[in-house]
Chain A
Amino acid sequence: MSQKTRMAPKPDPQSLSATAADSSAQVSIDPFFHILKFVPYSFLRPPRLRLKLPSFSLPSAMTVFSLILLTYFMVVSGFIYDVIVEPPGIGSTQDPATGAVRPVVFLSGRVNGQYIIEGLSSGFMFVLGGIGIVLLDLALDKNRARSIKVSYSIAGISSIVIAYVMTTLFIRIKIPGYLR
């Protein structure tokens, strides 16, 4: 029998084999099937193909979580700000004495402004802190070898500490009057 290559909107992995068996076992009630049986396929002979409808299963929770982490990194590093306002990658200032051009990493003067590089590095620090807490939770899982638990906990604690210290440092550089 001719194979249906029309995709059903609802994912139904068993449907293909079911319809093949269905149409051979009893008369199909599908109107499209009857129309197609009559109009092109009464005189056209379809070739024998080994096609399979791609079976589509939902990804696992942790796959989705890693994709979400990537999106979070982009949002929090000000990606949309970069696309719309188009700031330079890194700022520059001219040294008044020597006339040489020095790079400036942090856009100073306002809270809602950034250069691209400073946004990306801050976003990375935030994600690092988040991953540190996740590693700490993994370290407390009972079903692992002790050495892995210890290394996870050390990695987790150092990630959190580094991320927090760097982020505080960044915000102190950016906003000169911070916490004063």
Chain B
Amino acid sequence: MAAVANMPVSDLLKSFKLKTKQQELLIRVSILCLVYILAFITRLFSVLRYESMIHEFDPYFNYRTTLYLTQNGFYDFWNWFDYESWYPLGRIVGGTLYPGLMVTAALIYRILHFLRFAVHIREVCVLTAPFFASNTTLVAYFFGKEIWDTGAGLVAAILIAVCPGYISRSVAGSYDNEGVAIFALLFTFYLFVKAVNTGSLAWSLASAFGYFYMVSAWGGYVFIINLIPLYVLVLLITGRYSMRLYVAYNCMYVLGMLLAMQIRFVGFQHVQSGEHMAAMGVFFLMQVFYFLDWVKHMLSDTKLFQAFLRITVTCAVAVGTIALGLGMLSGYISPWTGRFYSLLDPTYAKDHIPIIASVSEHQPTAWSSFMFDFHILLFLFPAGLYFCFKRLSDATIFIVMYGLTSMYFAGVMVRLILVATPAVCLISAIAVSATVKNLTVLLRSKNKGVQTGSTKGSSSSKASSKALLDQSQPFQKNGAIALLFGAFYLLSKYATHCTWVTSEAYSSPSIVLAARGAHGSRVIFDDYREAYFWLRQNTPPDAKVMSWWDYGYQITAMGNRTVIVDNNTWNNTHIATVGRAMSSYEDEAIEIMRSLDVDYVLVVFGGVTGYSSDDINKFLWMVRIGGGVFPVIKEPDYLVNGEYRVDKGAAPKMLNCLMYKLCYYRFGEMLTEYGKPPGYDRARGVEIGNKDIKLEHLEEAFTTSNWIVRIYKVKPPNNRW
């Protein structure tokens, strides 16, 4: 002991000095830990600014079902018939949702309770998405390592931790399917690529289970079941058929398909739906390839084999086409559904399905959305593609295909930028890693050049070239250092941009609105929750509320009352009935409301605050959807010269329809802005046309403090005498 204590400090430190391999491992592990923590904390802006609450509309349904699951157990949840939504139809919840998210959150909740952390299920729900985002960075690291090398893996993990395209749907509080689904997507792809690279049965089975998790989490699993067969087809065409590919695809397809059928919402779609037929076709094609390979192995005569090859392939293609044709004609194989068909033909939704076309997330993407969500990665993506093409292998072909298909779909629909983000981050990481490697090789080549020059140094030409090399060496070294600094600068600009975008654009809970007051102070509008709490406290428990479908989930979750239509939008006629009621005169509307047993009507109005996502701005969609089913509602009746107006020059049908009356009741006396007449609508920027509104069959029940949500009670019919 005394001898150890007497050792000088430098010797002590030397005994702790790590070998290079251990140093490298330490650096890698510490980077991954830091990235894990970073991915989690960058998503916490809204929790720190407001409070830990669920955002937007869809997450409220997910929260309500998770609450039901934790309170009643899995069997009741799986067989739940919800009579509180879509009155009077009800909704079979167990058969019409993707349970992955709810089961995951309930599992985390049970584990925490088992460890005696008594957290509320709401906290678990709010923080599920950031937790899975951190896990996605780890998967991205392993995936990058598989495709290129560990440097690319580390860069991919960092890029995906802060990329705004992913943050937009996985912020704390955004308790939606995509938060878990992107993790499942990347995990499944990683397992499959690993299976193709190694040809091992274990990895293939793991990828089948990863696919099962993805199917249980999100409807976007259709992307996986179409991308993987397309990838296999490309490998077959480029002559990369191998036993590894055979094992990987067969195991994944068969087991994955069987597992996917366990989810009631998916059911038998894997054998019945047109969207899943590509996978089946490629499956049979693989068997044909294997058969031909076996026959080639048995036959020694190549000419005979060539003839046999032509016959077999012709027969196989003919049989396949006939089978597909029979299936589609007899109706057993259903055609592509509207949602996915509009991805292939973007003009389809605009003409045929107004509900899909009306959602703002489904609009095609402009360049600024790409720039906002990707920044530097848009430069690195084509460079990464170049590096992938330089070094083609099974894994790089996969990531190229994933990147290209997902970028095309991201161009068609803004919401799908989320699916493209992992591919873009991985390919950009390849570009960054390859470029930095080139530059550092240049930095390190100095010593070798001098040494070889001194040892060889025979002919004069060699000596002169070496002298030239010596002359340019310091220049090259300085240039490489400058370029490395430039790369570092660009990446730091990326980090700044991402943090700014997260803070300003993607951290708003949507249910609580914020605005800047007169002197820059922040003003909070909490009207939605005020109105839902009023509903919960002041209406009879069996009251039915009619509103536009956007608010259905929130009313059921927070107000705890039955609604007529909600965000599930599975029944277009029911929504059209509500749309017709909102766009008719009061006398016609009351008939419809009495037939639906409506007790309260809820509208959202932004005229006092200038809030622009209110029901008057959404009104034309109500007219279009209602008019799509009931031709008595005609859109030109509400427009003046093709223009949508609410002031004095508006159409008379517009000035007297139910939505107008409910939104602007008593608004004519309201002074909203200094220097403007009473009844000035701040969201549209005009003075309203019809100020003297009288309601005959409804009476005002509640208006929130900033007039954003207004609730009306339907009066019972008059007594006859």
Question: Is there an interface contact between A71 and B404, defined as CB atoms closer than 8 Å?
Answer: yes
Question: Is there an interface contact between B303 and A58, defined as CB atoms closer than 8 Å?
Answer: no
Q: Which residue of A lies closest to B371 (CB)?
A: A171
Question: Is there an interface contact between B368 and A85, defined as CB atoms closer than 8 Å?
Answer: no
Smallest Cβ distance from B164 to chain A, in angstroms?
11
Assembly CA distance A112 to B373 (angstroms): 11
Smallest Cβ distance from A65 to chain B, in angstroms?
5
Question: Is there an interface contact between A171 and B382, defined as CB atoms closer than 8 Å?
Answer: no
Interface size class of B (residues with CB under 8 A): 35 or more
* A123: chain B residues within 8 A (beta carbon): 367
Smallest Cβ distance from B136 to chain A, in angstroms?
24
Question: Is there an interface contact between A85 and B364, defined as CB atoms closer than 8 Å?
Answer: yes
Smallest Cβ distance from A159 to chain B, in angstroms?
10
Q: A137-B387, A137-B438 are in contact. Are A8 and B407 (CB under 8 A)?
A: no
Cβ-based interface call for B31 (8 A):
no
Contact of A112 among B304, B366, B411 (CB under 8 A): B366
Which of B306, B366, B435, B497 has its CB near the most chain A CB atoms (within 10 A)?
A: B366
Assembly CA distance A2 to B385 (angstroms): 47
* B392: chain A residues within 8 A (beta carbon): 61
A window 35-84: CB within 8 A of B: 58, 61-62, 64-65, 68-69, 71-72, 75-81, 83-84
* B468: chain A residues within 8 A (beta carbon): 146
Cβ-based interface call for B620 (8 A):
no
Cβ-based interface call for B328 (8 A):
no
Assembly CA distance A31 to B308 (angstroms): 11
Q: Which residue of A lies closest to B496 (CB)?
A: A179
Q: A65-B389, A68-B404, A112-B366 are in contact. Are A84 and B347 (CB under 8 A)?
A: yes
Assembly CA distance A156 to B60 (angstroms): 50
Question: Is there an interface contact between A12 and B310, defined as CB atoms closer than 8 Å?
Answer: yes
A window 104-146: CB within 8 A of B: 111-114, 118-119, 122-123, 126-127, 129-134, 136-137, 140, 146
Question: Is there an interface contact between B310 and A130, defined as CB atoms closer than 8 Å?
Answer: no
Cβ-based interface call for B523 (8 A):
no
Question: Is there an interface contact between A75 and B411, defined as CB atoms closer than 8 Å?
Answer: yes
* A19: chain B residues within 8 A (beta carbon): 306-307
Assembly CA distance A174 to B390 (angstroms): 37
Question: Is there an interface contact between A81 and B365, defined as CB atoms closer than 8 Å?
Answer: yes
B window 360-385: CB within 8 A of A: 360, 363-372, 376, 378-383, 385
Assembly CA distance A122 to B382 (angstroms): 15
* B26: chain A residues within 8 A (beta carbon): none
Question: Is there an interface contact between B368 and A114, defined as CB atoms closer than 8 Å?
Answer: yes
Question: Is there an interface contact between B350 and A10, defined as CB atoms closer than 8 Å?
Answer: no
* A157: chain B residues within 8 A (beta carbon): 483, 486
Assembly CA distance A175 to B505 (angstroms): 12
Q: A10-B313, A76-B367, A85-B363 are in contact. Are A62 and B389 (CB under 8 A)?
A: yes
Cβ-based interface call for B479 (8 A):
yes
Smallest Cβ distance from B313 to chain A, in angstroms?
5
Question: Is there an interface contact between B500 and A9, defined as CB atoms closer than 8 Å?
Answer: no
Contact of B378 among A10, A118, A129 (CB under 8 A): A129
Q: A9-B317, A77-B367, A164-B490 are in contact. Are A133 and B383 (CB under 8 A)?
A: yes
Q: Which residue of B lies closest to A119 (CB)?
A: B367
In the complex, per-residue mask of A14-49: 1 if CB is within 8 Å of any chain B CB, else 0:
110011011001001111000000000000000000
Interface of B is mostly: helix
Contact of B307 among A29, A64, A79, A127 (CB under 8 A): A29
Question: Is there an interface contact between B389 and A81, defined as CB atoms closer than 8 Å?
Answer: no
Smallest Cβ distance from A123 to chain B, in angstroms?
6
Contact of A81 among B366, B381, B431 (CB under 8 A): B366
Cβ-based interface call for B311 (8 A):
yes
Q: A18-B306, A72-B407, A112-B369 are in contact. Are A164 and B389 (CB under 8 A)?
A: no
* B367: chain A residues within 8 A (beta carbon): 76-78, 114, 118-119, 122-123
Q: Which residue of A lies closest to B373 (CB)?
A: A111
Q: A9-B314, A30-B311, A140-B442 are in contact. Are A122 and B371 (CB under 8 A)?
A: yes
Q: A15-B306, A112-B363, A164-B490 are in contact. Are A130 and B379 (CB under 8 A)?
A: yes
Question: Is there an interface contact between A175 and B435, defined as CB atoms closer than 8 Å?
Answer: no
Smallest Cβ distance from A100 to chain B, in angstroms?
25
* B368: chain A residues within 8 A (beta carbon): 111-114, 122, 171, 174-175
Cβ-based interface call for A167 (8 A):
yes
Question: Is there an interface contact between A84 and B364, defined as CB atoms closer than 8 Å?
Answer: yes
Which of B303, B314, B382 has its CB near the most chain A CB atoms (within 10 A)?
A: B382
Q: Which residue of A lies closest to B236 (CB)?
A: A10
Assembly CA distance A28 to B306 (angstroms): 11
Smallest Cβ distance from A34 to chain B, in angstroms?
12
Assembly CA distance A167 to B438 (angstroms): 26
Smallest Cβ distance from B609 to chain A, in angstroms?
18
In the complex, per-residue mask of B606-621: 1 if CB is within 8 Å of any chain A CB, else 0:
0000000000000000
Cβ-based interface call for B346 (8 A):
yes
Question: Is there an interface contact between A137 and B364, defined as CB atoms closer than 8 Å?
Answer: no
Q: A9-B313, A15-B306 are in contact. Are A58 and B347 (CB under 8 A)?
A: no
Cβ-based interface call for B543 (8 A):
no
Question: Is there an interface contact between B383 and A134, defined as CB atoms closer than 8 Å?
Answer: yes
Cβ-based interface call for B243 (8 A):
no
* B407: chain A residues within 8 A (beta carbon): 72, 75-76
* A113: chain B residues within 8 A (beta carbon): 366, 368
Question: Is there an interface contact between A75 and B408, defined as CB atoms closer than 8 Å?
Answer: yes
Assembly CA distance A22 to B442 (angstroms): 58
Contact of B372 among A83, A111, A163 (CB under 8 A): A111
Can you give 5 A-B contacts (C-beta < 8 A)?
A: A9-B313, A112-B414, A122-B367, A132-B379, A179-B500
Pairs A-B, 8 closest by C-beta atoms: A130-B382, A129-B379, A133-B383, A114-B366, A81-B364, A75-B411, A122-B367, A78-B366
Q: A64-B389, A72-B382, A85-B363 are in contact. List 13 more A-B contacts (CB 8 A).
A: A8-B310, A19-B307, A58-B238, A68-B404, A81-B363, A84-B364, A85-B364, A111-B372, A112-B363, A112-B414, A130-B380, A130-B383, A133-B386
B residues with CB within 8 A of A: 237-238, 303-304, 306-311, 313-314, 317, 346-347, 350, 360, 363-372, 376, 378-383, 385-387, 389-390, 392, 404, 407-408, 410-412, 414, 431, 434-435, 438-439, 441-442, 468, 472, 479, 483, 486, 490, 496-497, 500, 504-505
